[in-house]
């Protein structure tokens, strides 16, 4: 064998170089072909197939799916609330051991209409818990305590939210949600604060002229716009609006919001009185009402902060100061909430308390969430395009004469309207019947 290999090697060495290259290439091609054919054969025989395996937790996965849901089950409101109460207790038990998972399960449960989904999520989590007995014992103790207290069916804990006015007002506010959020962004104010002022003013209007407003707010679910003494959906007085504009331009003012906001309320004409009126008394687009509201809140907060008193975490005080105006905004320690007295049903509230009730009620929390910062400390200055876009938001609606309230007639129902620059599709509203003064 060694002799044959020696002879073969000598013959190989005697070959010309091009023969050697050709022989090597031929050999490589042959090996490649054999490899491909072999791989194809293994594939056809199924050698490379991965058939998978039954999961070790198969029975647990099956048990989760077999937990009954409430589809097709008729439960009373009381029974459903009782189900939720028990589920919250079970989630609370998990939270003592796995708070991250408990938070995710609770958030998902609040978006579900089926409390039994909590059972499934908890059962799925148990698969990875080595010893769930501690969680089970705590959960049983919590649910036992909950079960000992009969499920109550009381109405809203806030009395003024129990009437027919609040559901109608809430729908009207939701229609303006895009504009309110935009105004909050532009003025550097948490939108929920702007809504708190809106709630106080609209509840005040409804109850001050109850017979007139309930004819329109209830059935049509629109916000009431003022055109006497105070303007717009938030009842902003002319001299207050003028002061807001001046504060924006004056770097020496205690209310100055900074260069980023200087052009927020710029005018397009020299007739500021008429243009201001048209901005605020606009029953189709309330953006400017919300912008002025946001600026009042922001400027008042800065006034107090510069005096050494931070009221940014006191929405009750902010609502009160919005109601009483700049003239009564005197920074001091231990401020109190109050403002105008507003009678709702058999109870009397203050403007600040109504806004406070709404703010912490959780109502519309998905649309107007609580933000980490109620006021934006830094922001990029508005561009000329931003300013033009804000100015273009004013609609061409027919406004009443100064000092008159809205009228309900066919002429005011369908004037030519400009496209909304913020892409909001506003439902047309009609003015309410006015009373001559």
Q: Is residue 418 part of a domain?
A: no
| Average pLDDT estimate for 383-402 | 87
Terminal CA-to-CA distance of the chain, rounded, Å?
126
Q: Is residue 64 part of a domain?
A: yes
198 plus 343 within the same structural domain:
yes
Q: Say how far apart CA 437 and CA 155 lie, in whole Å.
A: 41
Element (H or E) spanning 7, and its range? helix 2-14
Give the CA diameter of the chain. 129
Strand partners, 228: 230
Hunting for tokens 């008394």 — which residue is that?
281
What average pLDDT is seen over the chain?
81
Our separate counts of H helices and E strands in the chain read 17, 5
Strand partners, 232: 226
Structural domain count, the chain:
2
Structure tokens at 9: 């090697």
Are the C-beta atoms of 321 and 351 separated by less than 8 Å?
Answer: no
Which of 67-76, 202-211, 405-414 bottoms out in mean pLDDT, i.e. has the lowest?
405-414
311 plus 217 within the same structural domain:
yes
209 plus 137 within the same structural domain:
no
Q: Say how far apart CA 357 and CA 233 lie, in whole Å.
A: 19
Q: Say how far apart CA 63 and CA 125 lie, in whole Å.
A: 12
Q: Is residue 88 part of a domain?
A: yes
Closest Cα partner for 286 from 427, 383, 134, 156? 427
Q: Is residue 77 part of a domain?
A: yes
Structure tokens at 244: 């807001």
At residue 417 the predicted structure's pLDDT band, cuts being 50, 70 and 90, is: very low
At residue 70 the predicted structure's pLDDT band, cuts being 50, 70 and 90, is: low
Q: Tell me, what's the pLDDT at 228?
A: 78
Q: Is residue 50 part of a domain?
A: no
**Cβ contacts of 71 within 8 Å, gap of 6 or more:** 114
Q: Tell me, what's the pLDDT at 406?
A: 40
94 plus 192 within the same structural domain:
no
98 plus 200 within the same structural domain:
no
| Average pLDDT estimate for 287-309 | 98
Q: Is the pLDDT of residue 350 over 60?
A: yes
Determine the structural domain holding residue 294 and report its residue range: 164-412
Closest Cα partner for 243 from 223, 257, 232? 257
Q: Say how far apart CA 251 and CA 168 lie, in whole Å.
A: 42
260 plus 370 within the same structural domain:
yes
Q: Is residue 41 part of a domain?
A: no
Q: Among 148, 176, 206, where does a domain finish?
A: 148
Q: Say how far apart CA 150 and CA 163 lie, in whole Å.
A: 25
Cα separations in angstroms, 19 against 14, 22, 57, 239: 10, 5, 64, 103
Q: Say how far apart CA 290 and CA 159 lie, in whole Å.
A: 27
Q: Say how far apart CA 107 and CA 98 lie, in whole Å.
A: 14
Q: Tell me, what's the pLDDT at 416?
A: 43
143 plus 84 within the same structural domain:
yes
pLDDT digits (tens, 9 = 90+) for 132-189: 888 889 888 988 888 888 877 778 899 999 887 898 899 999 999 999 999 999 999 9
pLDDT digits (tens, 9 = 90+) for 198-242: 999 998 887 766 665 666 565 656 787 887 788 899 999 999 999
SS3 of the chain: helix, strand, coil, percent, to 5: 55, 5, 40
At residue 296 the predicted structure's pLDDT band, cuts being 50, 70 and 90, is: very high
Q: Among 148, 178, 196, where does a domain finish?
A: 148
pLDDT digits (tens, 9 = 90+) for 255-271: 999 999 999 999 999 99
Hunting for tokens 């703010």 — which residue is that?
359
Residues of the chain with pLDDT > 70: what percent? 77
At residue 226, the 3 state secondary structure works out as strand
238 plus 125 within the same structural domain:
no
Q: Say how far apart CA 11 and CA 359 lie, in whole Å.
A: 98
Q: Among 148, 173, 206, where does a domain finish?
A: 148
Strand partners, 237: 230
Which of 41-45, 141-145, 315-319, 363-367 bottoms out in mean pLDDT, i.e. has the lowest?
41-45
At residue 53 the predicted structure's pLDDT band, cuts being 50, 70 and 90, is: low
Q: Is the pLDDT of residue 358 over 60?
A: yes
144 plus 171 within the same structural domain:
no
374 plus 311 within the same structural domain:
yes
Q: Tell me, what's the pLDDT at 405?
A: 44
Q: Is residue 31 part of a domain?
A: no
| Average pLDDT estimate for 369-388 | 89
123 plus 192 within the same structural domain:
no
Alpha helices in 221-271 (DSSP H): 238-249
171 plus 204 within the same structural domain:
yes
Q: Is residue 289 part of a domain?
A: yes
């Amino acid at each position: 064998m060694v002799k044959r290999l020696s002879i073969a090697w000598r013959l190989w060495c005697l070959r010309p170089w091009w023969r050697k290259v050709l022989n090597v290439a031929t050999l490589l091609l042959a090996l490649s072909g054999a490899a491909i054919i072999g791989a194809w054969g293994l594939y056809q025989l199924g050698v490379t197939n991965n058939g998978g395996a039954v999961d070790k937790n198969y029975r647990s996965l099956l048990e989760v799916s077999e937990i009954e849901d409430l589809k097709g089950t008729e439960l009373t409101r009381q029974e459903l609330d009782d189900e939720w109460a028990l589920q919250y207790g079970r989630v609370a038990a998990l939270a003592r051991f796995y708070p991250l998972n408990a938070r995710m399960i609770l958030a998902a449960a609040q978006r579900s209409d089926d409390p039994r989904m909590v059972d499934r999520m908890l059962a799925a989590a148990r698969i990875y818990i080595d010893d769930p007995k501690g969680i089970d014992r705590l959960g049983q103790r919590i649910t036992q305590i909950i079960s000992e207290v009969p499920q109550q069916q009381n109405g809203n804990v806030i009395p003024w939210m129990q009437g027919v006015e609040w559901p109608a007002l809430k729908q009207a506010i939701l229609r303006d949600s895009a504009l309110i959020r935009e105004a909050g962004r532009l003025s550097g104010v948490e939108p929920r604060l702007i809504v708190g002022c809106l709630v106080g003013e609209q509840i005040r209007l409804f109850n001050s002229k109850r017979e007139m407003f309930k004819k329109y707010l209830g059935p049509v679910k629109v916000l009431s716009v003022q055109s006497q003494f105070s303007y717009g959906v938030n009842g902003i007085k002319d001299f207050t609006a003028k002061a807001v504009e001046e504060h924006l331009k004056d770097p020496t003012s205690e209310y100055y919001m900074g260069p980023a906001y200087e052009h927020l309320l710029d005018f397009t004409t020299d007739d500021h009185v008429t243009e201001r009126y048209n901005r605020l008394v606009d029953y189709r687009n309330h953006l400017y009402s919300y912008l002025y509201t946001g600026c009042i809140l922001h400027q008042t907060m800065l006034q107090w902060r510069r005096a050494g008193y931070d009221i940014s975490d006191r929405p009750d005080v902010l609502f009160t100061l919005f109601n009483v105006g700049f003239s009564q905004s005197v920074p001091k320690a231990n401020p109190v909430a109050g403002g105008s007295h507003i009678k709702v049903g058999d109870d009397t509230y203050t403007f600040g308390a109504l806004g406070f009730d709404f703010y912490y009620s959780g109502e519309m929390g998905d649309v107007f969430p609580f933000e980490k910062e109620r006021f934006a400390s830094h922001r990029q200055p508005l561009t000329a395009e931003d300013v033009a876009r804000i100015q273009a938001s004013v609609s061409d609606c027919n406004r009443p004469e100064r000092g008159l309230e809205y009228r309900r007639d066919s002429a005011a129902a369908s004037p030519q309207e400009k496209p909304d620059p913020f892409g909001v599709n506003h439902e047309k509203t009609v003015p309410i019947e006015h009373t001559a003064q």
